[in-house]
Amino acid sequence: MCGIAGAFLRGAGSRAELESVVTGMTCAIEHRGPDDSGVFIDERAGLSLGFRRLSIIDLSPAGHQPMQSASGRYVLIYNGEVYNYEAVRAELERAGAMSWRGHSDTEVMLAAIERWGLDGALSRFIGMFAMALWDRAEQTLHLVRDRLGVKPLYYSFAGNAVLFASELKAIEAHPRFRGEIDRDVVGLYARYSYIPAPYTIYRDTWKLPPGCVLSIKPGDARPEPRAYWDLQEVAPRAIASRFRGGDDEALDALDALVADAVRLRMVADVPLGVFLSGGIDSSLIAAAMQAQNSSPVKTFSIGFHESLYDEAQYAAAVARHLGTAHTELYVTPREAQDVIPLLPRMYDEPFADSSQIPTYLVSKLARQSVTVSLSGDGGDELFGGYHRYFLGQKLLRGVARVPRALRPPAGAALRAVPVWMWNRLLSPESRIMPRALRRDRAGERLHKFARAMNDRSDDALYHEIVTQWSSVVPGARPLPIAITARAARAPIADTIERMMFFDQLSYLPDDILVKVDRASMAVSLEAREPLLDHRLVEFAWSLPLSMKIRDGKGKWILRKLLTRYVPEALIERPKMGFGLPIDQWLRGPLRGWAEELLDPRRLRQDGFFDATEVRTKWDEHLGGRGEWQQPLWTILMFQAWRAERRASADGTALPAAAATAIG
């Protein structure tokens, strides 16, 4: 795990200037690679490549980057790991005599690219990676991101320069970068609580989408990414060739894939462990890891004293059964809240998944003992674990029962009753409505249901379910993204499978994986995701939905597989998630902080959000007439990011704790 940065000026530059600037870029991401650094300069091309190293494989100088290929044609910097590099190395040796300088995966990658070309090499790599490859012969810079988007890669057009880096803060460090906020993107952020690819908060600055290559030649004005692996092709192809075996055969195949994915991700020359929440996904990874280790695997979990948010007891029970070396830390509200000032600089752009706080805390705990930690991310998206899949299916059935001509007036009638009133009428404690109609937070769901009635597309309901704010940014124009662009929609008929597909296209790489990457790298910890091995993803899409969702429960096949390692009694309980009592904190210890950021005059002065709409939600939340913590957290994280950005521009120093956390 490392950090990369660079600039392609598409014109000659002096060595001293190029080296000075790229060094400044890499210093901004030192936390991603505290062990070593390096720079490569091509003066004639105006190219600079910078690297920060977190040593994982081949700790010797033979693993130093930037690294040149044996012929000298290619120069590579990359962030991540190619887990099957030993198999690729063996294939190269069978293809012809090789002379190796060390045993790093970087050297193998370069040799593979020289032998088979970039696409031929990428098709062989199993791993997570974001790379910049300079081809001296073709005078072409290739930026590449792994298939699922585990590792980040940003790029920006600044005049005649292309800037790129693992994190935006490195691009911001380049003197040519201007950093103008894109109002339309703010609208996207307000809707989803994260910024979907290919956009970033800044104009002319982009996320390279997963599974893509961006090739930049001198004279190219605005090159476009091309896909070398595309979920929009992979998923329909796998569905068309469904797995034909029975349950036991599917379980055996999945068991072998998970075991191999975990085995590959245990390759390291440094200590490694696993995050263990006690849920299905992390328990399965811990179990598969322990099954392949003769000594106890290091597992890590954090707990909260609020029982509704505490899974540490379940993680401890799983750890005892597996015999792992378990470490847990119970976090106080003060310790969790102390992370909040670090978030704007940690994430570089507005990002409002509040589980970023416990993710950072468990990463910080793990880093005290290990340099690499495996994680269970991806299980919900691949195997149907989110409640919204079931909610969406139920709501669509409800919409279908209403004649199309009556849907707009019926939706308007439902929305005429405020959310807070529906919440009270239909709360589990209500005595007014029949028990079968009572639901927690029913008002928000009914209003989403009502808005979906106005759209002819079944996909509209998914967008309503994941929407936080639909019109809080006046004047923001809709932007096409992977889950809304009609031309890019894959032919997937089933409602739940389409929702899973949408989550894998956007929510997984742009929220979940961003959260884990920044939180772990802030403390120089490498996080690895076995369930996002592309072979496992392709297999999951081939499974019939009945093997994922059965008897009203998601992740059926993962649950069954886990019972081969852990007693069912330890894992069968309602899904909790990795949350925090943000709703209570906003009414209590965080109220003053939130009041300052949500001050109507401040909102109007900034000019991004409708102050009246925001304050209405805030007042309803404080008064207990609505549970608006997630929409409000979305606005608060933007406002906190703006405040930190202003402080940086003014030269105001970060708090000592923040400076330590982000290097």
**d(Cα 152, Cα 150) in Å, to the nearest integer?**
7
SS (H, E, C) 474-504: CCCCCCCCCCCCHHHCCCCCCHHHHHHHHHH
Element (DSSP H or E) covering residue 107? helix 105-124
**Cβ-based burial of 175 (10 A; exposed 0-12, middle 13-18, buried ≥19):** exposed
Does 27 participate in catalysis according to the annotation?
no
Active-site annotation holder among 2, 47, 258, 514: 2
Cα radius of gyration rounded to whole Å, the chain: 25
**d(Cα 521, Cα 531) in Å, to the nearest integer?**
20
Residues in the chain: 663
**d(Cα 377, Cα 368) in Å, to the nearest integer?**
22
Residue appearing with tokens 């200590």: 271
- Angle between helical axes of 247-264 and 534-542 (0-180°, round to 10): 170
Rounded to whole angstroms, what are the CA distances from 476 to 183, 286, 566? 6, 45, 50
Rounded to whole angstroms, what are the CA distances from 87 to 93, 259, 606? 10, 17, 54
Q: What is the DSSP string of 333-349?
A: HHHHHTTGGGHHHHHSS
**Cβ-based burial of 94 (10 A; exposed 0-12, middle 13-18, buried ≥19):** exposed
Structure tokens at 45: 């091309």
Q: Which residues contact 28 (CB under 8 A, 6 or more apart)?
A: 5, 167, 169, 170, 172, 173
CA dihedral over 581, 583, 587, 592, signed as positive or negative: positive
**Cβ-based burial of 116 (10 A; exposed 0-12, middle 13-18, buried ≥19):** middle
Task: Centre a 10 Å sphere on the Cβ of residue 242 and count the other Cβ atoms it contains.
Answer: 13
Long-range contacts of 456-464 (CB under 8 A, 24+ apart): 458/396, 458/495, 458/498, 459/483, 459/489, 459/498, 459/502, 461/392, 461/395, 461/396, 461/399, 462/388, 462/392, 462/498, 462/499, 462/502
C-beta of residue 152 within 8 angstroms of C-beta of residue 206? no
Residue appearing with tokens 């700790």: 59
Structure tokens at 405: 């001509």
Classify 14 as helix, strand or coil: coil
**d(Cα 342, Cα 407) in Å, to the nearest integer?**
46
Cα angle: 455, vertex 459, 464; to 5 degrees: 70
Rounded to whole angstroms, what are the CA distances from 389 to 72, 385, 548, 632? 51, 8, 12, 24
What residues are labeled active site?
A: 2
